Amino acid sequence: MGVLTTPPAPRVPLTPTAGGHADGVSDDEFRAAMSRLAAGVVLVTAHEPALDPEGPGGEDVGMTATAFMSVSLDPPLVLVSLRDGSRMDDLLAEQPLWAVSVLSESQRHIAGRFAMKGRISDRLLFEDIPYVRGEASGALLVRGALATLECRTEQRVPAGDHTLVIGRVLTASVPSADGGPLAYFKGRYRQLG
């Protein structure tokens, strides 16, 4: 006796709507689905050079990111996704040197501070955070981070309302082996375990 099977439903091509989503995918549905993907949390930093060489020495800028990943081992490349028009996106369009501090579970306050909307100046945000200045990038590296990387932008790729910045790793270190990573899952910072 044969097995009766139901033929698969015909595939309906999903066409993007005016907003860019495929029919049937809302912003909220997309956010909810992606919130189920656990991500590591990093602080991306860069030094904005002074406009006037005779004036103050420029400004340090920081941004919390969860869309960060390794791209290649040879050459060593990483990628960070930046919202179009954000301060970091604008700065890295002109300044090719930047750094990443992989935050530990004890550095949740740093992640929250640099993720705030309508926040105060970055100078005040860095005020009580222990850091060193990277030799290759001039950007700030957070002390106590699980790992730090200094990078030079190799490529910028427009992607919807974000820019994917691919950077060649100039330095990499593991200054701290203490504690676990800070993770982001279901819209909140989390600890593993």
User: What are the residues facing 150 on neighbouring strands?
Assistant: 99, 171
Residue 139: closest CA among 107, 185, 91: 91
Kindly tell me the burial class for residue 33, based on how many C-beta atoms sit within 10 Å of its own C-beta (0-12, 13-18, 19 or more).
Answer: exposed
The H or E element spanning position 126 is: helix 122-126
What is the separation of C-alpha 176 from the centre of its chain, rounded to a whole number of angstroms?
A: 20
Half-sphere exposure at residue 125, Cβ-oriented, CA atoms within 13 angstroms? 24
pLDDT, tens digit only, all 193 positions of the chain: 556 666 665 555 555 555 565 667 788 887 788 777 778 999 999 999 877 766 567 899 999 999 999 999 999 999 999 999 999 999 999 999 999 999 999 999 999 999 987 666 788 899 999 999 999 999 999 999 999 999 999 999 999 999 999 999 999 999 876 789 999 888 888 887 6
